[in-house]
Structure formats: structure tokens, C-alpha cells
Amino acid sequence: MFWALIGAGVFTYGVIYLVALCLVDSDLNLAFLERFGKSISRIKGKVVFITGASSGIGEYTAYALAKHGVKLVLAARRRNELERVKRKCLELSNGSLIDSDVLVIAMDMCDLVSHKMHFQNAIRHFGHVDVLFNNAGRSQRAMWENIDITVDKDLFELNVFSVINLSRVALEHFNQRGEGHVAVTSSLAGVIGVAYSGSYTGAKHAIHGYMNSLRNEKMGKRITVSLFCPGPVFTNFLQESFTDKPGEKYGITTQPTDRRLTAERCGQLCAIGIANKIKEGWMAMFPLMPITYCAVYFPLIFHL
């Protein structure tokens, strides 16, 4: 009788868990924190440095933070687009941010030598930086066996090495202050292997390796690390994706009928993740959440 009750309880828990996964657009921890965790307003007045802030997830994360009075460093290559995002951030802040609370920095993430100069610029402006949100990057669409090795190198240069280099620059500052937070936009491709995105999947797995190692080194200290792992999102990400040929862009836009998170929703979830300093957050429309859970926690079933 006792074991029957235990079995029934485990079965019921499993059913409830599965049903919940079908109803949310993130992992259950992030869904719980959205409702019961720290509000984004808890980091009002903090300084968040966002790369890739001129569009997509970076842009909408900036908006979600600005609404709660978070000070921002907006970094990307296109200054005119950054200025547009800045104006929108000031508007959405409803007076809680003034012009000097949003700093625009035009920078190329692949110009590694310039990283320290740009980060020091933000420190001079605000006095310090609290959070680095590494969001810049590009995806890929290609057959694995057709990919030119130059594409692998170019993709890793942007999606891995630039992220690692800027993070190390930020960590020098965070170590001096005794606290700080490094967040990175990874992907569900960094959790499970994604077909027709071989170089991109490899890069995101590399990011997980680097950041999980950093997190373990900083365990018990006031320097924290977050990995945000979106699935498909309505941005220009697909159009700008690498292919199998050097210098080529995929050039195909997303369709309104695609099942994807909006950039606004993804940005909101990233802002919640930053406020709560989550270790790892998954974000995607059904059925990707149940599929990802199955791949990670029940690999024998997933690979049947």
C-alpha cells in the first residue's frame, strides 16, 4: 500500500509537471520566478551593459529594463539604430530615466582590441557597471558537411571569442568591485544539437562550457553568471544568419505563421532572468519546452 501511494504520487507529479510545461513559454523555474521571484524594479538604478542592443532580443531587453528605471549602456555597430532604441527607452521609462542614464556606444564585437576602451567608457560615464549582458551574435542555416571551415572560424569569432573577451574585460572590473553579473544569450542549440546549424550549435555549446566553468570558479562569491537559451524568436536573426559559405547571409525572413516567441516576450524573460540572477533559463513556444526537458532529463527516450 505504501509503495502504491508513492508510485501514484510520482505519477501525479509527472503528469502535473508535463501539463505545466505545455502551458508555459519558458522552463518552470523561470515561469515561477516571473510570478513569485524578484521584480525587475529591484534592480532600478543598476547599470546594465547590453551588446547587440540595436535590434531583436537586446533591444527589447533594454525596453523591459528601462520601464523599471534600470540605467543602460546600449552597444552595437549601428549608432543610428542605437539612438532610436535610446529614445524609446527614455519614453518607456516614464521619467525615471534621464538622457545621461542611457549611454550609446557604437562598437564592433569582433574588434577585440577595442573592448576594454568601450567598457572603460561606460565606467567613466556611470562610475561602474553592474551587469554585462552579452547578446550580440548570429545564427546559421547550412548542411553540416557543406560548411566551409572559414564559416566555423568566423562564427566562433563573433559568437564565442568576442563574448569571452568582453566578459574577461568586465570581470576585471567586477573583481575590483567584489560583485557583478555576467549574462549571455545562448540558445536551446546550446542545450541540444540543432539540425542544419552545425557551427552555431557548436558555438553555443562552447559558450555553455566557458560560462559553466566561470560560474563554478566564482561559486560562493558575489559574481554570478546567467545563460539565456531562447528557441525561435521573431527577429531578423534568420535573415542575418551565416550559411555554409564565407560572407554569405541566409537572407530569408521569418513568416507570420511561424511558431516563435516575440522579441518583446523574450526580452521580458531575459530582464526577469537578469533581475533574479538565474543560472540558466530556457524560453520557447510549445512544444519545444517538453522536447527540451525530454532531451536533457530523459535522453534514452528522446533518442529512441
Catalytic residue list: 200
Report the alpha-carbon distance of residue 251 to residue 230 in Å, rounded.
21
Distances (CA, A) of 271 to 18, 184, 228, 275: 26, 12, 10, 6
Q: Is the dihedral of CA 186, 190, 194, 197 positive or negative?
A: positive
E strand residue ranges, 107-150: 131-134
The answer to whether residues 269 and 35 touch, using CB atoms and an 8 Å cutoff, is: no
For residues 288 and 185, give the distance between their C-alpha atoms in angstroms, rounded to a whole number.
17
Distance between CA atoms of 120 and 1, rounded to whole angstroms? 66
**What's the one-letter identity of residue 17?**
Y
b/e 141-156 (16+ beta carbons within 10 angstroms → b) = bbeeeebbeebbebbb
